[in-house]
Amino acid sequence: MRKKTFVLTDLSQRVHVPDFFLCPEDLGKKSGVPWSVIKTTLHGGPSEGVEAVVIDNGALSFMVLPSRGMGVWKGEYRGMPLGWDSPVTGPIHPAFVDSAARSGLGWLTGFDEMIVRCGLESNGPPVTDRVLDNQGNPVDVQLTLHGRIANIPAWYLSIAVDNDVITVKGITDETGLFHPRFRLETTVETKINSNAVTMRDTIVNLKSIPSELQLLYHCNFGEPFLGKNSHLVMPFRQFAPRDSVAARDSDTFDIYKGPTTGYVEQCYYCTPLGDTTGRTCALLRNGAATKGVAVRFNTRQLPCFTLWKNTAAVSDGYVTGLEPATNYPNPKPFERSQGRVVNMPAGSSYKVSLTLEVYDTAAGVSGVEKEIARIQKRAKPVVHQQPVAGLSF
C-alpha cells in the first residue's frame, strides 16, 4: 500500500477538518485485519470542544487528544481497558483548567490520561524560580505543577497510513513573547493488529538563545494491571524513596496494595539500567503474572525514572504512574543544581522515543521479565531504605 497522508489541521494554512473516518476499504483494501481511524469533537460538560483521534489497529485501540498536547487518553486491548479511573471526568478541555489554582496545583483538575507529557519549561511541583526578564533583570516567576504542554492544543494534525503502520502526527507550540519557546513535534504510531503504540517526540528550541528543557512521561495505569500484589519489574541501578512517607515501604516499593482508603501517595526515584545501547523497559504486571503493560524507553534520552504509587480507594483514583524523564519531578531550582536540567542550544532539537506494549498471556509477561533479568545482569541493584541526598531535595 502506498503511503496516504491526510492533513486535518494546519493553522498556518487555515485548514481544519472537524470530522474524519478512514478504514481499509477507503484505501482499496477489501480483505485483511479491520482497522479504523476516527477524528471527532467531543461535546458536553468540560469535554466540550475537545478534539479526539481514535485509532483501532484491529487488536489495540486508543484515543489521542490533539486538544491536550497530543496526550494519549484511554484505550483497550482485546477487551482489557487501558488507563485508569480518575476522579476527573474527562477528557477535560484546557479552557477549563486553571493551572494556578490551589497554589499551582490546578493541573490536577484535568488529569485523567493514560500517557501525558509534563514539561516543557518545567515538570515538577509548584515553585518560585529565578529567571531573566525581557530587560535582562533577574525576576521571580511562579512555575505550576507539571508545566504547560498538556494543556496546549496542537496546531497541526495529520493521519498517515503506510503499509501496515498507522501514524498520527501533531505539532504543539509552548511559546510566548519573552518566554521560553518550544515546539513539540510528535508522531504516535501503531502497526495493524499489534499490541504496541510508539510515541516519537522531537522538542525544538525555537529561540535564538539557549533554553532549559524538562520532560517527563506520566504513564498511568489502573485495573486490571494494577491490583493487590501487582509488581513493578524493571532493571535499575538504584531505587530510593522520595521522602519519609515512601520510606515506610521501601522494602516493598515494587509491590502494590489493593485499593486502600486514606492511602497517601508514595514516590520512588530510580536510576534505570539499560542495555549496551541504553534501551530498557519498565513492566507493570498483575499478581498472577498473566497481564502486563510495558513502557519501553532509552536511558540516554530519559535517564531518570519515577515510580508513583497511589493505591487509594477506587473512587479517589486507584492508579500507579511509571514515569521516565529527563529529570526527577523535584522543584526546578533543585534539579538545576543537580545538573539534571537539559540545556538546549539555540535552534537545537531533543529526540525521545517511548513505546507502550500490552500483554494478556502469562507467556507474554514472562518473556518481558526474562528480557529485564538479562539487562539487570549488567549491574547489581541497590534499594535505599531512606531518601538519598541529591535525588530528593
The CA-atom distances, in angstroms, between 20 and each of 55, 165, 192, 260 are: 12, 18, 19, 43
Strands 80-82 and 60-65: unpaired
pLDDT (0 to 100) of residue 181: 98
**Grid-cell match 493505591, residue found:** 311
pLDDT (0 to 100) of residue 29: 84
Distance in angstroms (rounded) separating the CA atoms of residues 69 and 123? 14
pLDDT (0 to 100) of residue 185: 99
Nearest Cα to Cα of residue 267 among 283, 251, 250: 250
Complete domains list, the chain, with CATH: 4-383 (2.70.98.10)
pLDDT tens-digit map of 374-388:
999 999 999 999 999
Nearest Cα to Cα of residue 17 among 35, 42, 37, 40: 40
Below-50 pLDDT ranges, the chain: none
Nearest Cα to Cα of residue 326 among 293, 298, 355: 298
Q: Is 327 exposed, middle or buried (0-12, 13-18, 19+ CB in 10 A)?
A: buried
pLDDT (0 to 100) of residue 1: 63
